[in-house]
Amino acid sequence: MTGWRDLAELVRAPAALSVPGDVVAGAAAAGTLRPRTLALAGASVCLYWAGMAANDLADRKIDAVERPGRPIPSGRVRPGTALGVAAALTGAGVTIAALAGGRRAAAVAVPLAGAVWAYDLIAKKTAAGPAVMAACRGLDVLLGVGPGRYRAAVPAAATVAAHTYLITLLSRRETTGATASLPASTLAGTAMVAGAAASPATTVGGLLSAWYAARFGAAQQRALTSPDAATLQGAVTAGITAFPALQGALTARAGRPTAGVAVAGAALLAAPLARKVSPT
């Protein structure tokens, strides 16, 4: 029988800590950070978990060779179960978004869900893969806007999307290794993302941005000297667990430093949890 631990590994449950901050950053930028933002964050988590389950379903043949210990190739989770989990979580995510944010939230949640499935089933193995994944996280930021102006949240969405693009580039080589040029280019991109998230108007935003850069950058520095598969996977994990620090910086930049610190606090939990259940 499939246990809850198997399902948690299927959806990379701890990695969901990297998700709610998207919605909070979008709401803060649009000036619509309200209690209902928590419900929209819940919708975002459902869609993220759905994407993880669909990803493993689509990659089950490759994982049988490269990651035989994953839930599906190991036989702990059946493909049909993974499909059911992915579909149920997708439906839950869209429904929660519509109930919490009305038509405007549903208008973002539906294309977000479509982009998630498109990435897993079609785009992942193509050159468009990183861009599609980046679009997913950018839409996730816009999910938090609610009744506010989408234009106000576009810079935050673009920054989160850029970080996602960098992680996805690294993840495409985390089972094969690469040359030093890959982490060199993503490290340069990380510096640009950190600069975009920092705010001269708030010390909190600058500190959180620096924390993000240090956390993700250190792992990429290690990959510069040893760009093997294990080190690149470590860089991907660092990028995922650094998400809350980046989202916190963006939230503080929008004039909500207390909320920014709260969001960034998830990064303190993400790293130890990643050692128990891999987020990649």
3-state secondary structure the chain: CCCHHHHHHHCCHHHHHHCHHHHHHHHHHHCCCCCHHHHHHHHHHHHHHHHHHHHHHHCHHHHHHHCCCCCCCCCCCCHHHHHHHHHHHHHHHHHHHHHHHHHHHHHHHHHHHHHHHHHHHHHCCCCCHHHHHHHHHHHHHHHCCCCCCHHHHHHHHHHHHHHHHHHHHHHCCCCCCCCCHHHHHHHHHHHHHHHHHCCCCCHHHHHHHHHHHHHHHHHHHHHHHCCCHHHHHHHHHHHHHCHHHHHHHHHHHCCCHHHHHHHHCHHHHHHHHHCCCCCC
Maximal C-alpha separation, the chain: 54
Which segment of 77-91, 215-229, 264-278 scores lowest on mean pLDDT? 264-278
Supply the pLDDT for residue 109: 98
Q: For position 262, what pLDDT does the model report?
A: 96
- Mean pLDDT across 115-123: 97
Q: Domain 4-273 in CATH: superfamily?
A: UbiA prenyltransferase (1.10.357.140)
Look at residue 241 in the predicted model and tell me its pLDDT.
Answer: 94
| Structure-model confidence comparison of residues 246 and 201, the more confident one | 246
Q: Mean of the pLDDT values across residues 257-276?
A: 88
Residue 224 pLDDT grade (very low, low, confident, very high; cuts 50, 70, 90): very high
Q: To the nearest whole percent, how much of the chain has pLDDT over 90?
A: 88
**Given this model, what pLDDT does residue 257 score?**
95
Read off the pLDDT band of 88 (50, 70, 90): very high
What is the domain partition of the chain in residue ranges?
4-273
Kindly indicate the confidence band of residue 199, based on its pLDDT and cuts at 50, 70 and 90: confident
Q: What is the pLDDT of residue 188?
A: 98
pLDDT of residue 269: 87
- pLDDT tens per residue across span 123-166: 999 999 999 999 999 999 999 999 899 999 999 999 999 999 99
What pLDDT does residue 200 have? 77
pLDDT of residue 278: 75
- Is 202 a residue whose pLDDT tops 90? no
pLDDT at 274 over 90: no
CA proximity to 150, closest of 165, 133, 138, 162: 138
Looking at residue 113, its pLDDT comes to 98
Could you tell me the pTM of the whole model? 0.94
Q: What is the mean pLDDT of residues 164-183?
A: 96
Give me the mean pLDDT over the 72-99 stretch.
Answer: 97
Average pLDDT, the chain: 95
